Amino acid sequence: MNSIVSFAYNNPVVLFVLALGLLFFVVRKPKLFFGLLFLGLFLAGLFYLIMSTAGSGSQHKKRLIDEDKRVDVGG
């Protein structure tokens, strides 16, 4: 979230053009706008699900490796 805010502060022209583009789609083509909005929300949710699953799997793997190292050093 912090990277989005810093991007907005560093590039106000790009942010303004994006806002105008979104406003254009809302006014002129609301069906396309909402279709793209729901597609983006779905993809963001899918990305979050994949990242949270991969994160917990990598943490579990790291924990197993640490336990294996402790057993090797202790034995």
Q: Say what the pTM is.
A: 0.55
- In sequence order, the 6+-apart residues with CB closer than 8 A to the CB of 8 are 15
Q: Round to whole Å and give the CA distance between 34 and 60.
A: 39
Per residue in 39-50, pLDDT (tens digit) is: 999 999 998 888
pLDDT of 1 reads 63
* Rg, the chain, Cα only: 22
Written as six digits, the tokens of 71 are 């057993």
Range of the domain at 31: 2-74
Closest of 8, 10, 32, 11 to residue 21, by C-alpha = 32
Number of domains in the chain: 1
Q: What pLDDT shows up at residue 74?
A: 60
Q: What is the pLDDT of residues 11-33, one digit of tens each?
A: 889 989 989 988 988 999 999 88
